[in-house]
Amino acid sequence: MNRRVFITGYGVITAIGGNGPENFASLRDRKCGYGRLEFLETRYQDDIYCCEIKLSDEALCRRAGVSTGCGFTRTTLLGLIAIREAIASAGLTDQEVRNAGLVSATTAGGIRELERHFFERQDLQSSGDFITFLDTVDPGEHMERLADILGMKRYLATVSTACSSSANALLFGARLLKTGLADCMICGGAEALAKITINGFNALMILDREHCKPFDQNRCGLNLGEGAAYLVLEAEESLKRSGKKAIAELTGYANFNDAFHQTASSPEGAGALKAMRKALNMGGINPSDVDYINAHGTGTENNDLSEGLALETLFGVNVPPFSSTKPYTGHTTSAAGSVEAAFCLMAFENDVIYPNINFKQPMEELNIRPTTALKTNAGLKNILTNSLGFGGSTTSLLFAKC
C-alpha cells in the first residue's frame, strides 16, 4: 500500500505570533522575536538574547485551556496550544481526534521545570512542589500529557533526534498513513527555552550575541528560540470521505545520517544532499521544479556552509530562491522542522517567499545568496524544507500545493 498524504490543517506558536495568522503577519512584515529574556531566569539574561514567547506559564495555561498547578510543563503547554489550533484548522471532530495518531517531538522535554526545582530536590526534608514535575523530564511524558488531555490512545510516539525531531515526526506520521496503519495523524513538535539549552549551545561557542544572520559571510552563530507547531496529516481516502480541501500534499521526504560529528554537519553537506535528492526522487520531480527552499540556515559557520554546498551540488547554477526564517523565530531546536513546515504551508496559502533578513555579504565559499526581499505572487507549486540535527540527522520534506 502506498497512499498519498495530505495536510489539512496546522497550528503554530512562536516568539513572533500566538497562532498561524500572527506568525504570517510577522514574516510578511519582517517582525522578529529576538530580544531580552523575561520569563526564563538565567545569569545570561543581559548577555544572550533569544526569541522568547512573551507569555508566562499561567498565561499559556489559560490559552491552552488547562488549570494552573496541574504539572503541565511549558513545552507541553506550547504543544497543546498549537495542536488545538491544528485541530480547528483541519476541522476535526472530537471523534476524529480520538481516532487519530499523535507523533510529538521534543528533546529537552520538562528540563526547564527540573532546573527550577533541582536544588530543592537535593533537600530530602523539602516539602516543595517538585514532585509535580518529577516525570516531566522524560520527552515521552510530554507526548503522554498531550494525548491524555485530547483523549488520544492510538499510534502514540515520541521522536527525539535533536534539531530534526519534528521533521522526523512528520516523516514518521506520513509513513503510517502510506502503509495504511492510520488514516489521520497529528504530527509536530514543541520546545521551551531552558538553561541547559542556552548553556549547552554557549559551551559549543555557536551562539551569536547579536541578531543572527544566516548565510552571511560575517555570521557568528545562532539565536535560540522556543515554540511549537503541529500539522494534521490525512490519507487520500480520508479526504474523499470528508470532502475536505487539503492545503498541500507531502509528496516526498527523506532522512539521512552523515555520522560526521556529534554536533556538526559534514563539511561538504553529504547528509543534506542525500536527503534532498531522495525527497525529490520520491516526489517524482526534478530539481528545476522546486520553487522555494526553506533552508535550515542557523547562522553557524558549519551549518550554512554545509547546507549551501549541498544546494549548489544538487541544483547547480540554478538554485531556487531560498531563505532561512530563523532570524524571526530563533532556532526552536526540536520544534524547528514542524514550525518551518507550517511556514511552508503559509507560503502556499499566500503565494509568497520569505526574505532572509540580516543578510549583507555573500559567503566567499559559495556562489549563491538567499532571497532578501518578500516576493509576492511567487507562483509556488513545490517547496522543499530542510532540518539538520546534531549527530548528522538530516531530513528534507517536499510539499506540493493543492
Catalytic residue among 32, 50, 212, 296: 296
With a CB cutoff of 8 Å and minimum separation 6, the contacts of 76 are 110, 136, 142, 145, 146, 190
Cα–Cα distances (Å) from 107 to 164, 189, 288, 389, in that order, read 10, 9, 35, 11
What does the alpha-carbon distance between residue 319 and residue 384 come to, in Å, rounded to a whole number? Answer: 12
DSSP string for residues in 265-316: --TT-HHHHHHHHHHHHHHT--GGG--EEE----S-HHHHHHHHHHHHHHHT
What does the alpha-carbon distance between residue 77 and residue 58 come to, in Å, rounded to a whole number? Answer: 10
What does the alpha-carbon distance between residue 168 and residue 163 come to, in Å, rounded to a whole number? Answer: 10
What is the number of residues in the chain? 402
Catalytic residue among 51, 142, 184, 331: 331
Residue 331 catalytic?
Answer: yes
Residue 212 catalytic?
Answer: no
The number of helices, as runs of H, and strands, as runs of E, in the chain is: 13, 14
Cα–Cα distances (Å) from 23 to 28, 173, 325, 339, 373, in that order, read 9, 24, 11, 10, 17
Catalytic residue among 32, 163, 184, 212: 163
**What is the pairing mode between strands 382-388 and 292-294?**
parallel
Q: Spell out where 137-213 has E strands.
A: 154-159, 184-191
Cα–Cα distances (Å) from 200 to 196, 204, 263, 296, in that order, read 6, 6, 11, 20
Residue 50 catalytic?
Answer: no
Coil, strand, or helix at residue 69? coil
* Residues assigned a catalytic role: 163, 296, 331
